A and B are shown apart, each in its own frame.
Chain A
Amino acid sequence: MTDHAVLTDTPQRGAEDTDRAERVAARAEAVAAVAREFADAVDSESRFPREAIDEARNQGLLAAPIPEADGGLGYSITELCRMLERVGRECTSTAMILAMHHSQVLCLTRHADTDFLRDYTRRVAAEGLLLASATTEAQIGGDTRNSTCAVRPIEDGRVALHKSCPVISYGAYADAILVTARRSEDAASSDQVLLVVEAENLQLDRQRGWDALGMRGTCSESFELDATTPADAMFTVLFETISAQTMLPAAHCLWASAWLGMATQAGLTARSVVQKAARKTPGTTPPSAMRLAELEVQLQSMTDVVRASVARYEAAWDDPAVSESMQFAIAMNTLKVSGAEAVRRIVGDAMVIVGITAFANRSPVSLARLYRDSIGPSVMVNNDRILLHTATLQLVSRGQR
């Protein structure tokens, strides 16, 4: 037996696992290709990335986290996040829409507790439905754990709802919106329920359009929302529980993965430009290589934080005692803040390394769109609000990680 036998004897991934990994990667690649083709048009026209979202639907990816028995692909949170890293390299808007959609799909797969909701989950898979979210509300200041609007029972076992929504990303393009509201008109502002409202039962009165610096395809418009829905389209479980176990950690892991894709793309662009310069002067390391090394420090750190956080969520997936613990909440909060700041710095630093050709809007190595997009994560949910919430938790946390 030679020394090499040790290597051949190491446990190999089963053929089944390899097949699955290849299929998962191929689906992400298909969406990434379409996202890349239309990214400039989506940005310049500030329009919904319908081609890439259609491709995601064709690939079955809109139902990715739904169990195979219910018609989905049975993706784990890790598989979902890796898909978003890939798509995030090509079109921020497409990646963010998929991230927000999957935060909602996961609420269904993990918490659907009425016949309507279980049936609707299967419909999301069968029909390739796109889900949006309306958690923030005017006068609430972005605190998703408080609502002013309330659910009101009407005839035929249905409920009605009116909500002033400062932002519903791609609300006008979604097949259903998951909305938070107070349980009843005399409930406390924090006594919230989550309910599914289908587009056909929904009236959206646009208050403000979406013409923003970046993430221009998310169509994050402002609406007055009027809706009715069957009473059992309301989750029985408290929104507090859904928020802690799923909506918040899933959103932060999925967003941060899309941002990691953006940062990765900026890093790859900077790398290719520096390497091209190096080929012209073999034996002399170009000065920009030093900046590339500095960028690598940031990229490695962001990659490790994001992937470790996703792994942490995956490990806590079936354990509410962990996912509802204070240290987990702190970890998921800091993930959003560190990811948002990292992507802004990395894309900006990559721009400086590449130079004027990255600054140009029309250039094979332009980072202009990515740069504008990279500001989005720091403003889309205010970092200061998340830090303030973390600061409150820190008042009793014992600092274990």
Chain B
Amino acid sequence: MDSTAIETTVRSVLGHHGKLSEDAGTIAADADLYRAGMTSHASVNVMLGLEDEFDIEFPEERLTKATFTSINSITEAVEAINND
């Protein structure tokens, strides 16, 4: 799966679970998702959605706020886990 396809799925999961005050489909890929209203509670639901969609598990060292800060950071993490 290329990074564009990953990003599309990430945006879809964020739309369902991120509870953002902006549209997850159009928010800038480098925008701070916490600034856009995502809580740590919502971010867990985003993680669960991503793990289901991509059939992956985020390793402990990626379970930090930095991983889920933006669409770019999430997409990079998913790609890195896929390549491991």
Contact = CB atoms under 8 A, between A and B. Distances in A.
B54 interface: no
Contact of B37 (A188, A324, A327): A188
A188 B22 CA distance: 10
B73 to A, nearest CB: 13
A397 B47 CA distance: 10
B21 A396 contact: no
A400 B48 CA distance: 18
Question: Which of B44, B58, B59 is packed against the most chain A CB atoms within 10 Å?
Answer: B44
A185 to B, nearest CB: 12
A55 B41 CA distance: 41
A397 B43 CA distance: 13
A180 to B, nearest CB: 13
Which DSSP category, helix, strand, loop or mixed, fits chain B's interface?
loop
A145 B39 contact: yes
B60 A240 contact: no
A45 B49 CA distance: 54
B35 interface: yes
B40 interface: yes
| Interface range on chain B (Cβ under 8 Å from partner) | 20 to 34
B60 A327 contact: yes
A325 B37 contact: no
Interface residues of A, number: 27
Interface string A180-214: 00000001111100000000000000000000000
Given A240-B40, A393-B44, A188 B63 contact: no
Interface string B24-67: 00000000001111111110100110010000011110011110
Contacts of A325: 63-65
Given A145-B41, A392-B41, A396-B44, 10 more contacts: A146-B39, A187-B21, A188-B37, A190-B37, A190-B38, A191-B35, A324-B64, A325-B65, A392-B44, A397-B63
Contact of A244 (B21, B38, B42, B65): B65
